[in-house]
């Protein structure tokens, strides 16, 4: 799998990612935001079945 280049602007749209990709993606994105002095991040997970929403909320509670 090739890396996906994302713009680090404080908005992370997860619509194109699988739930299994989210843990590493969140860690990497948050780390890059901190490097860019961005301390407030909006995570867009969509509606759908709620799988991404639950995954994101679970990961954020652990951090």
Per-residue pLDDT of the chain (63 residues; tens, 9 = 90+): 688 788 999 999 998 888 899 999 999 999 999 999 999 999 999 888 888 889 999 999 997
Strand 11-13 relative to strand 42-44, pairing? parallel
Residue 19: its pLDDT value, please? 87
**Across the strands, what pairs with 12?**
43
Q: What burial letters (b/e) apply to 25-42, b meaning 16+ CB within 10 Å?
A: bbeebbeebeeeeeeeee
Residue 16: its pLDDT value, please? 86
Give CA–CA dist 51/31, Å, rounded. 24
Residue 59: its pLDDT value, please? 93
């Amino acid at each position: 799998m090739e890396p996906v280049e994302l713009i680090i602007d404080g908005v992370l749209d997860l619509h194109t990612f699988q739930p299994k990709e989210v843990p590493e993606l969140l860690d990497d994105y948050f780390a890059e935001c901190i490097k860019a002095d961005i301390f407030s991040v909006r995570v867009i997970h969509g509606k759908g079945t709620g799988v991404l929403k639950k995954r994101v909320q679970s990961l954020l509670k652990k951090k």
